Amino acid sequence: MLAMNYRGPFRVRADRNKPYPEILHPGDAIVQVTRSCICGSDLHLYHGLVPDTRVGMTFGHEFTGIVVETGSAVQKLKVGDHVLVPFNIACGMCPFCKQELYGNCHESNPEATAVGGIFGYSHTAGGYDGGQAEYVRVPYADVSPTVIPQGMDLDDAVLLTDVVPTGYQAAEMGGIKKGDTVVVFGAGPIGIMAARCSWLFGAARVIVIDQLDYRLEFAKNYAKCEVYNFRSIGDPVLFLKKQTDYFGADVCIDAVGCEAAGSAMNTLTGRKTLLQAGSTTALFWAINSVKKGGIVSIVGVYGPTWNFVPIGNVVNKGITIRANQASVKRLLPRLIDHVMSGRLNPKEIITHRIPLEEVSDAYHIFSAKRDNCIKPILIPSSAKAA
C-alpha cells in the first residue's frame, strides 16, 4: 500500500511497498484513511528532534477513515463505520484512562512512561505507524475512535483528532475567567485554535504573538484576536507588561514548544546542538509575561529532560503551570457540539490539500513555511470517493 516513509531528518517519501497493516491485538481495527493531516508536531520528528524516530516509520496522528477490519474483542465499531481517530492511543482500563487522562494511558507505550502511545510519533510514543497512509492499524478501537456524526464535514472531523481539542484544552487549562486577558505564543494551527477557544471561556482580550506576518494575519481574521510580530515589538515580555497596565496577562499559553525562535542562546543549545531538549523561548516568555499568581498553560511539544526554564520566577511569582497532551476523548462530546452548532469552524484553517503521493513536497512546504501554509491535509487517491 501507499504510505509516507521516514528516511532521516528532512527526508520522507511516498512508499508504494509498505506492507498492509495487520490485526495484532484483539482490540485492533484496520482503518482505510480518508483524510490525514501534517501537524506542527510532525515537524519536530521531520527535523530529527524526537529521540528514537526510526527509519521506515509512517507519521500521522491526525486522521479519519473507514473501518475495514476489526479484531475479535471489538464490539462498538463495525466494518463500514466512518470514524475520527483521536491521536492518543488509550486502553480505557488503566488507572489513568479511568480518570479521563486519555493522553496518559499506561498500557499503550512500552518505550516510555512519561508519554502515552501516539500514532506515528516515534518509538518514544510507542512505535506505532500513523495515518499518512492508505491503511492504518488502530489499537483499542473501542475506546477513542468515534463515529463521525451525520452531516459533519470530513475536514472538520479530521481537525477534531488533535487541533481543536489541543487548542481547546490549552484554553481550558488556562482556567480563563470572564474578563481575562489571554496571550497565546505561536500562530500555528494550535495557537490559532487556542486563541479562538479562549473566547468560549469568556476572555475579554486575546493576543497572539508570532514571527511570521502571514500566520498573524490568518490568526487575526480566524480567531478575531490582536496580533503582534515579536520581531517588531522589541522585548515581548516588556511589551506585554505595558499592554496589561504593567501587571502581566492573566493567562499565557505556550503553543510553540521545542522549536521556538527568538533567542539566539536557546536556538543554539536547543535546536542546533541539542544540548537541551529543544528551545524554551516561548515558555520563557510565557512565564515572564504572566501576572503574579497567573496561569501558564503548555501544549507545545517538548522533548524529555534538560531545559532552560526560569523556574525561580515560577516560584517567586506563584505561577500555576498546567500542561498535558490533550485528552481528546474526554473533550469530544463538547467539541462535536461546538462544531455542529457552528460556534467553531475548524476546517477554515485548512490551506492546502495535497495528494498523499506528494508527501515529500507537503512536508517541505509546511516546514519551510512556503505558500502561506497554515494547515495541510493529505488525501490518498484511493480515498477520493469518500
Partner 1 sequence: MENVANVDVQKRTDETYKDIPGWGIDADPENEPTYPMKHYTGDDHQRLHYERPPLQPVDVEVLHSNERPNVTAAFGTVSPPSGLSGMLRRYAFQHSEGSSLHWLPLIMADRINAIEGIVDDLAHGHIPNVFAERGWNAEWKYNRKGLITKIAVTTLVATTVIALLSTKKKKKKRFSF
Angle at 242 between CA 237 and CA 247, to 5 degrees: 85
Query: In the bound complex, what is the minimum distance in angstroms from residue 185's beta carbon to partner 1?
Result: 16
Residues 154-213 close enough to bind partner 1 by CB under 8 A: 172-178, 199-206, 213
Residues 105-134 close enough to bind Zn ion by CB under 5 A: 105, 107
Complex with partner 1: residue 361 or 386, whichever CB lies closer: 361
Residues 149-178, one symbol each (x = binds Zn ion by CB under 5 A, - = not), give: -------------x----------------
Q: Is 293 in the site for partner 1 (CB under 8 A)?
A: no
Find the radius of gyration of the CA atoms of the chain: 20
Helices (H) and strands (E) in the chain, counts: 12, 17
112 binds, among Zn ion, partner 1, none (CB under 5 to 8 A by kind): partner 1
Residue listed under C-alpha cell 484544552: 169
Query: In the bound complex, what is the minimum distance in angstroms from residue 91's beta carbon to Zn ion?
Result: 3
| Binds partner 1 by CB under 8 A, chosen from 65, 126, 131, 189 | 126
- DSSP bridge partners of 15: 3
Listed in sequence order, the residues at least 6 apart from 318 whose beta carbon sits closer than 8 Å to its beta carbon are 292, 293
Query: In the bound complex, what is the minimum distance in angstroms from residue 71's beta carbon to partner 1?
Result: 9
- CA 48, 53, 57, 60 dihedral sign is negative
CB atoms within 10 A of CB 47: 15
Residue listed under C-alpha cell 475548524: 346
Helix (H) or strand (E) holding 256, with range, is none
CB atoms within 10 A of CB 379: 18
Residues 212-271 close enough to bind partner 1 by CB under 8 A: 213, 216-217, 220, 224-229, 232-233
| Long-range Cβ contact pairs of 221-228 (< 8 A, separation 24 or more) | 222/192, 222/196, 222/348, 222/349, 223/192, 223/193, 223/195, 223/196, 223/199, 224/196, 224/199, 225/184, 225/195, 225/196, 225/198, 227/187
Complex with Zn ion: residue 31 or 240, whichever CB lies closer: 31
CA distance 88 to 116: 7
CB atoms within 10 A of CB 150: 6
Residues 129-158, one symbol each (x = binds partner 1 by CB under 8 A, - = not), give: x---------xx------------------
Q: Is 113 in the site for partner 1 (CB under 8 A)?
A: yes
Complex with partner 1: residue 96 or 285, whichever CB lies closer: 96
314 binds, among partner 1, Zn ion, none (CB under 5 to 8 A by kind): none
Residues 209-268 close enough to bind Zn ion by CB under 5 A: none
Residues 24-83 close enough to bind Zn ion by CB under 5 A: 39
| Binds partner 1 by CB under 8 A, chosen from 165, 240, 363, 379 | 363
Residues 82-111 close enough to bind partner 1 by CB under 8 A: 89, 91-96, 98-101, 106-111
Complex with partner 1: residue 50 or 163, whichever CB lies closer: 50
Query: In the bound complex, what is the minimum distance in angstroms from residue 79's beta carbon to partner 1?
Result: 20
162 binds, among Zn ion, partner 1, none (CB under 5 to 8 A by kind): Zn ion
Complex with partner 1: residue 37 or 225, whichever CB lies closer: 225
Complex with partner 1: residue 120 or 300, whichever CB lies closer: 120
Residue listed under C-alpha cell 489499537: 139
Total of residues contacting Zn ion (CB under 5 A)? 7
CB atoms within 10 A of CB 9: 12
Q: Is 97 in the site for Zn ion (CB under 5 A)?
A: yes
Query: In the bound complex, what is the minimum distance in angstroms from residue 92's beta carbon to Zn ion?
Result: 6
Complex with Zn ion: residue 291 or 375, whichever CB lies closer: 375
| Long-range Cβ contact pairs of 7-15 (< 8 A, separation 24 or more) | 7/55, 8/48, 8/55, 9/46, 9/47, 9/48, 10/46, 10/47, 10/48, 10/367, 11/360, 12/46, 12/59, 12/359, 12/360, 12/363, 13/359, 13/360, 14/356, 14/357, 14/358, 14/359, 14/360
Which positions touch Zn ion (CB under 5 A)? 39, 91, 94, 97, 105, 107, 162
